[in-house]
Structure 1
């Protein structure tokens, strides 16, 4: 029996290894470098090698695979957790007590993700006299590892790192400052206990002035206990009118983040004007159109109910009133939007979120009657002149639908085109794909965001049981990053990264989401007081 268990265990590890690329392996090596000597890590060429080293160190065995679950979570390969029998929610719940990756290592990894190739080249130039002459660093992780080898970077010596970040990105410097502040325990007047920070940065709520006590757990990292984290970032713009990357400003951490972001009595007028107002008596409405059954030969969208459930769960947690509409024709969708356009309820609401799950073609989605509707037309119901009560308020549209051409019959995954798809080599070919097409899909007026599951001309994929890659990644990242104070554009950047890592079982078919927006300010959902409710099975 033990031999069978051991073989099953190694088969699980092998299946994970087969789904990890070289960049993922490098990330795993970096995160493990506190436990495994660098000399041994230099010989690693695959995830299997790392797994064996962890087994040798007794960090990993058939009865306890949590260390792998944590590592997959840290590098955002959450779709592989199921191979170990974990869900993302289970990992998040156990991380505060079983996590092995130190806060120091996490901080370095976050900084590495924020450094571009150009940044690494600039850093190499700045550090030329401190690094070996033959140094040929090509990645941010290699740069940080080299600094550690030279004793220029360690938990108690962050001076070089601070100087680099101050020259390249002041926003990354704030991550270092946040970490340094978090190292010093903060005690309140009535308690000397601190609440452990959870995965995704969601602290367990305190009760009055009494915090949750840290349990005594084996392998608990020295710096794992921290106050409620803060995140920083920078706003970047692509050339042209399509904008796709951004992050939030400096947001003060600590328990104050458990209150609404709109509470900030200490914010200056300039700080307040940089954000959309999100402190009204009601957060807003989330409209979910979930089309599964179609006329005219369009395929049934199996798995879409999972998407609708997750959207309802997450946006309800974020404080929005959710209204769900199943299987609506094109005319019914337009009539529902007209009703909401004229609603007086928007007066006291902060925002609108509209999610449409359906089949689609370039710039359009299908109603259940097999009739196409322009995405631009749907969004235009809520322009300032047609819906004055939503003027100057953010209006977010998330579209889960194919935007490309016909393909063949599927096996395990389906596309949200009007035909099903076999995940073959031609599934990602596009006759036309341009950012201009996406940009022209949103109204010219301000305060709109359009999140598309895929770029124009391409397919988007849907698992018949687990839902679509895009919507599941959107919900996961909202749940993880809202508690960290991330703005919506930063969250969508992480969604892009998550979905881009997905692939079919052969590693051939890929998908790339694309946001476009006319937002004028940063939109940050207030941090809910309670942790998100667990996902419900179908």
Structure 2
């Protein structure tokens, strides 16, 4: 791993104080087990755990940026991570972008807003609900909140007791909790109106529709943790600098965020030559997947008809990559779904710099044209960013239209148990509607899946 990366973490850790480390730990509880966090006293140890959990790494600093923003260390955010308060505020307004839940943010903001007298009053009112040794004078409000969670006194969907406490201590904070609950209810209602329960709930709970789903909609088993590998091959810097793909780092971060949330072992390889792309895919096909449910592979690069380009301009056939995972070549994934999502462009000549840039060489030949056929094997799904005669678009700042839409739809629809083919169809619909520099983009799905592929969302 880059020495510059470790130097960056060292310098940030040197600037953090004990209370800030406690805040970082509290804000990370949904991503790192409490047992791991309890033993941590030093910021360096905290950063080591985040690396173990793939929450931070070289080229993957979005979670660190968000944490520093949440604890108001804007000086570190600006000096070491090249961001700002305004940039983070804009970024975190994008649906699904925040990795710290609104619930945990609420508790942290409440703790920050309390005076010592307020904290003492809350502890006094909790005497019958929590053991006295958890309410000692030196216990912080974040520690008290943690104990309340452990004892089931507060939950993300039940803050009744917390509201009752603050009704007596600080009525203004009780109003903040009310506002949080109202906003959560509005968001839930909006999603329900758009995507009715009939496509998203558990089939066995839906009467006649559920019976039909059971008979006609068999579902792939998703019971392991991790469910499988999510392999990301992301080509950003090419040997010819004119071919560099600005915005592709944002695509990588979006995919990592979604698939870590979905409990996949997520691995990203950057800037691979053509031969190395094939070798990497083949290496993963040789792994033992017996204790896994699925395999997912994202490829971001330039391309030609049916091919992906390495950073050395050498091509590899998409069909050759997919064939590594047929039942014969990868027996430990036989009968299990294999998913390939490909965002690729056509050539090496850039269009003039604009806000939205075609991922192409400037002619309306195919980006990386979809396969006319896939290997004659079952359980494979290929999602392509484009079909023939359409361009694939990528923003320098926010990433590719196709991948960003896919990640947003997965964050919205996976909790509603919508299967992946239906999600990709939604993406096709959204991308096709958009007017992009006077052109259109039409993604394509090619599938030999035999069942519905529904990603289980951790509770």
In structure 2, the partner of 1:512 is 442
Find the partner of 1:375 among 313, 318, 321. Answer: 318
* 1:340 Cα deviation after fit: 1.2
Structure having greater relative contact order (Cα 8 Å, sep ≥ 6): 1
- After TM superposition, the structure 1 = structure 2 runs for residues 242-253 of structure 1, keeping only pairs within 5 Å, are 251=203
Partner-residue secondary structure (3-state), 1:280 = coil
Find the partner of 1:332 among 267, 276, 280. Answer: 276
Q: In the alignment, does 2:440 pair up with 1:495?
A: no
* 1:472 Cα deviation after fit: 0.7
Distance in 2 (CA, whole Å) between partners of 1:273 and 1:218 is 37
Q: Which runs of 5+ in 2 are unaligned?
A: 1-88, 104-148, 161-176
- After TM superposition, the structure 1 = structure 2 runs for residues 335-414 of structure 1, keeping only pairs within 5 Å, are 335-344=279-288, 346-403=289-346, 408-414=351-357
1:247-295 Cα deviation digits (max 9, x unpaired)? 66853679xxxxxxxxxxx999956970111113430000000101123
- The answer (yes or no) to whether the contact 2:274–2:314 under 8 Å persists in 1 is yes
In structure 1, the partner of 2:249 is 305
1:435-474 Cα deviation digits (max 9, x unpaired)? xx73525222111111111113432111111111111111
Q: Which runs of 5+ in 1 are unaligned?
A: 1-81, 96-203, 235-246, 255-265, 422-426, 530-538
In structure 1, the partner of 2:262 is 318
Partner-residue secondary structure (3-state), 1:521 = coil
In structure 2, the partner of 1:212 is 158
- The answer (yes or no) to whether the contact 2:306–2:371 under 8 Å persists in 1 is no
In structure 1, the partner of 2:403 is 471
Q: Could you say what the CA RMSD is over the residues aligned between the two structures, in angstroms?
A: 4.2
In structure 2, the partner of 1:88 is 95
Distance in 2 (CA, whole Å) between partners of 1:87 and 1:486 is 21
Aligned residues: 303
- The answer (yes or no) to whether the contact 1:384–1:445 under 8 Å persists in 2 is yes
Distance in 2 (CA, whole Å) between partners of 1:519 and 1:390 is 13
- The answer (yes or no) to whether the contact 2:203–2:214 under 8 Å persists in 1 is no
CA 1:374/1:212 → structure 2, altered by over 3 Å: closer, same or farther? same
CA 1:205/1:340 → structure 2, altered by over 3 Å: closer, same or farther? farther
Distance in 2 (CA, whole Å) between partners of 1:524 and 1:395 is 13
Find the partner of 1:415 among 358, 362, 365. Answer: 358
* 1:509 Cα deviation after fit: 2.6
Partner-residue secondary structure (3-state), 1:347 = coil
- The answer (yes or no) to whether the contact 1:450–1:515 under 8 Å persists in 2 is yes
Partner-residue secondary structure (3-state), 2:316 = strand
- 4+ residue runs over 6 A deviation: 82-85, 90-95, 225-230, 266-269, 404-407
- The answer (yes or no) to whether the contact 1:451–1:515 under 8 Å persists in 2 is yes
Distance in 1 (CA, whole Å) between partners of 2:187 and 2:232 is 38
- The answer (yes or no) to whether the contact 1:363–1:441 under 8 Å persists in 2 is no
TM-score, normalisation: structure 2? 0.57
CA 1:85/1:485 → structure 2, altered by over 3 Å: closer, same or farther? closer
Distance in 1 (CA, whole Å) between partners of 2:91 and 2:311 is 38
* 1:476 Cα deviation after fit: 0.7
Distance in 2 (CA, whole Å) between partners of 1:308 and 1:458 is 23
In structure 2, the partner of 1:167 is none
Distance in 1 (CA, whole Å) between partners of 2:279 and 2:444 is 28
In structure 1, the partner of 2:173 is none
CA 1:335/1:206 → structure 2, altered by over 3 Å: closer, same or farther? farther
TM-score, normalisation: structure 1? 0.49
Distance in 2 (CA, whole Å) between partners of 1:84 and 1:381 is 38
